[in-house]
Structure 1
Amino acid sequence: MNLLLDEIARATARLADAGAASPRADAEELAAAVHRVNRSELHSVPDNAFDALFWEYVARREAGEPLQHITGRAFFRYLELKVGPGVFVPRPETEVMAGWVLETLRDMDVRDPLVVDLGTGSGAIALSVALEAPRARVHAVEKDPTAFVHATRNVEELDERGRVRLHLDDFATALTELNGTVDLVVSNPPYIPMSEWEYVPRDVRDHDPADALWGGGDDGLDAIRRVESAARRLLRPGGHVAVEHSDLQGNGVYWIFAEENGWRDVRNRRDLTNRDRFVTARYGTD
């Protein structure tokens, strides 16, 4: 049997004992990163090419360090993003919201839609829009300087058409020059209430940046309230917004986008596990 596959089996057992949620996938991804191959190519690594760095990576994962911090990469839709300490690691759940954004842009009767991503983090959503809706112009806002460095690197490497403009700013007050002109606003803001601290997985609460996790307020929804206010300022009449939340916050976020503030067609939408994951709405009466 292939030596690397044997070692992956041993690593899987160790990671399972350490409580990793997906020990086999983690072991394979660590091996692929060390040996610079895709996971589907692991069987092709010859025995004499086995790199013992793999076991250093496994030990770091056993200790609770996020997989993506160890490998330095995260996958989101069709992108391979550079990530690391200081930037929120994009999750698969957010891919569903990005998919809704892209479908909505395709349905718009707008030649070059203008999109704003509030709290872009690694740039995952903004870059997905730029890649998959190539006529879209995207402004991505991030206030954390460390996360902004990661976003800048990803944009420089992946935005071949130059469709994404990054802004180091607070999304509550950013881009006033675009007020009333934006076709779609999207955000995956912080939304976890501090009361949930003990229930958040250790590798998340100890390694993801605090400003990307804790939403503020007793309900964790203060950041989403700021997104609602910013979207109302930025959007043109008929423009759309999408904002992510936890699977327990759908009702609370629904009511933040109140009809008296101009919101129409407010809907809770579900992720691939059939749980409430993001709210969408249209601004204005047209």
Structure 2
Amino acid sequence: MFTGLSAFPLTPITERGIDEESFAGLVERLAAARVDSITALGSTGSYPYLDRAERARAARLAVDHAGTIPVIVGIGSLRTRDVLELAEDAQEAGASGVLLAPVSYQALTEDEVFGLYEDVTAELSVPLVVYDNPGTTHFTFTDALYARIAELPHVASIKIPGVPTDPGAAEQRVAALRTSLPSVTVGVSGDPLAATGLNAGCHTWYSVVAGTLPEPALAITRAAEAGDAASAAAESQRLQPLWELFGRHGSLRVVSAIAEILGLVGHPNLPRPLRELPDDDRAAVARVVRRLELR
């Protein structure tokens, strides 16, 4: 479950709440593609914008529509009390694992972040993925903190925020992490760097794009797993126009537009105050979808 490709679907949201039919369809699409796991309520799933009942419902829908594919559920929240409640809801829904980022308003210290994982893992009965996403949490893990947290019970994987762009430097970075973290898998995020990370030895790709476009993400992952680094890198290079859109607009808004263009979700589908891309930018996304034959 903590190797291969983990796909992070959108949680389509309207003024009335979660678009349950579209969300179920996205999950079924990933199950049919045979991704290795589905991570509901990750950053692409807009978890901070949902209340507890909505998140519990999304967790249940994901498990119910994933078939035999294991589901990981995001449980990040500001207060440890709330994280524990969300963990309970995820486990009751049948999640195979949980994903936890150190969400904060006040800047957290290393001891506070360690304490969060210590408190949560003490109550868990399923494995946990440490979600290092400094772009949203504004907290930067050290390797020493990774190592401390990796020794806690139920910690199964650590998602790092990308690797160096140079393949040699990436190999050195991943090798060092795998040596210092022998009890967990090391997962890469930051989709434009995923092929480099997988080729460098990362066990897992925690992927934004796979949640809407599983096939090209699977092509990269399976090539890397087979030791075909050139094919993995070539497929990632083919997707460079998409990666450029991610860099320009943010991955969430781009995959929201792609899902809408492909008829997978309606409009609007992002939680306010987030807005879908303006018409000109959406047209640029549509051109990339046609050019790359994404579907």
* Richer in strand (by share): 1
Asked if these proteins are the same fold (TM beyond 0.5), I'd say: no
* Richer in helix (by share): 2
Q: Identify the structure with bigger relative contact order (alpha carbons < 8 Å, sequence gap 6+).
A: 2
* TM-score calculated relative to the size of structure 1: 0.30
* TM-score calculated relative to the size of structure 2: 0.29
Higher alpha-carbon Rg: 1
